[in-house]
């Protein structure tokens, strides 16, 4: 079987470089070209020394304005799939039927995640440049949309907060175990989730020995979480989502609180019943680990992997349940999930290139 030929736009961002790292170890993929707006003409190893001796790929110019002039179609002819690790608006500006006739697109931004263009424009404060392609774009949370992913031409790869938050709550929302309108999500992120560009707020001296909330009642991942969990519940609802920045390189930890519903006979859900719901949903999933009772997810236990660790705790005193999930924001929260989706799209083993034991310490 011929290898899947790959191009990466935005290869010098954290997500783009992580995609490249994974694909260089992938038995069924060949990276044909990688791009950068700022470092074109240089070898990737000059910016990411971890690639020394593993690849001599040089960065081509992937400035969006020049790509829109037709260069993107020439590049698309060389590959089977293009990963676009670009800011919001960039992928949508390139989208056309001519492009999709030539290659598949796995987009790392939010351009095709939200089905309602008005919601996208309200939360991201930009005009959507390719709304006609929203209906066919597949939301690439693989465990929930695997069948749609198989036939996708445009794959909207979810982000880190959303992946962790949605997967942690989805089975219980779908089963009606919790009242989704009572759902509150607190999530912690490592600094790499903010990207590689220089920002004062992300300097070592600003982040070290500190933790802070941000995007309170306004974070752009909120409608994405609501969209997917509303699909699970069968009705639209709103929730409270608060992200926090903590001094670590990688990781997402989501702690979620919700009121339990009662069963049809009026009795309360038991721990065994809730665990059975999770097992039915995720028991055969290669990248989701339901932890033993009493064990809380820990970001270091998933670092460098495509794994998601999930657990829960009943609180009989308040009639609520506490849900917990952890993942690596650059892996299952970005690049790992993108490669997982690529595997499904091209009929490859879903775990190819992604079977790593977490790094500890």
List, for residues 71-130, the tens digit of each pLDDT value: 999 999 999 999 999 999 999 999 999 999 999 999 999 999 999 999 999 999 999 999
Model-wide pTM > 0.85: yes
Tell me which residues are annotated as active site. Answer: 160
Q: Which two tokens stand for residue 101?
A: 């006739």
Residue 290: strand pairing partners? 310
Sheet of strand 252-259: strand arrangement:
212-213, 240-245, 184-189, 252-259, 320-327, 308-315, 288-290
Q: What is the DSSP letter of 180?
A: G
Query: CA 143: distance to chain centroid?
Result: 12
**Both 86 and 199 in a single domain?**
no
The answer to whether position 354 is within a domain reads: no
**Both 154 and 99 in a single domain?**
yes
Q: Which two tokens stand for residue 285?
A: 């999933």
For residue 49, give the CATH number of its domain: 3.40.50.720
**Both 148 and 172 in a single domain?**
no
Instruction: Give the pLDDT band (50/70/90) at residue 207.
Output: confident
Number of structural domains found in the chain:
2
φ and ψ at residue 341, rounded to 5 degrees: -65, -40
Q: Which residues contact 130 (CB under 8 A, 6 or more apart)?
A: 92, 93, 95, 111, 112
pLDDT in tens, 166-179: 999 999 999 999 99
The answer to whether position 351 is within a domain reads: no
How confident is the model at residue 85, as a pLDDT? 97
**Both 211 and 272 in a single domain?**
yes
**Both 148 and 215 in a single domain?**
no
Domain span at 119 = 4-158+333-345
**Both 205 and 282 in a single domain?**
yes
**Both 165 and 274 in a single domain?**
yes
């Amino acid at each position: 079987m011929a290898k899947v030929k790959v191009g990466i736009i935005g290869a010098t961002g954290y997500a783009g470089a992580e995609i490249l790292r994974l694909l260089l170890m992938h038995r069924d993929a060949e990276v044909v070209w990688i791009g950068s707006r700022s470092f074109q003409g240089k070898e990737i190893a000059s910016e990411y020394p971890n690639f020394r001796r593993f690849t001599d790929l040089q960065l081509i110019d992937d400035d969006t304005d020049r790509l829109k002039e037709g260069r993107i179609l020439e590049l698309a002819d060389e590959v089977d799939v293009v990963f676009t690790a670009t800011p919001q608006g960039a992928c949508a500006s390139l989208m056309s039927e001519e492009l999709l006739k030539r290659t598949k697109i796995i987009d790392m931004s939010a351009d095709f995640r939200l089905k309602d263009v008005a919601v996208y424009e309200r939360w991201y404060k930009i005009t959507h440049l390719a709304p006609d392609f929203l209906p066919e774009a597949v939301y690439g949370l693989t465990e929930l949309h695997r069948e749609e992913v198989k036939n996708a031409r445009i794959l909207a790869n979810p982000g880190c907060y959303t992946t962790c938050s949605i997967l942690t709550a989805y089975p219980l929302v779908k089963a009606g175990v919790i009242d989704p309108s009572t759902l509150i999500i607190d999530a912690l992120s490592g600094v790499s989730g903010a990207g590689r560009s220089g920002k004062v707020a992300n300097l070592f001296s600003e982040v070290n020995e500190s933790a802070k909330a941000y995007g309170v009642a306004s974070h752009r991942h909120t409608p994405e979480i609501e969209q997917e969990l509303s699909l699970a519940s069968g009705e639209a609802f709103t929730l409270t989502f608060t992200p926090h920045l903590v001094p670590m390189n990688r990781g997402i930890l989501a702690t979620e609180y919700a009121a339990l519903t009662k069963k049809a006979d009026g009795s309360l859900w038991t721990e065994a019943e809730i665990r059975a719901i999770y097992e039915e949903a995720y028991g055969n999933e290669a990248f989701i680990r339901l932890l033993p009772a009493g064990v809380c997810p820990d970001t270091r236990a998933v670092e460098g992997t495509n794994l998601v660790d999930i657990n829960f705790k009943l609180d009989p005193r308040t009639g609520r349940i506490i849900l917990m999930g952890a993942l690596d924001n650059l892996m299952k929260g970005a690049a790992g999930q993108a490669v997982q989706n690529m595997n499904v799209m091209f009929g490859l083993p879903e775990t190819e290139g992604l079977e790593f034991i977490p790094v500890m310490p």
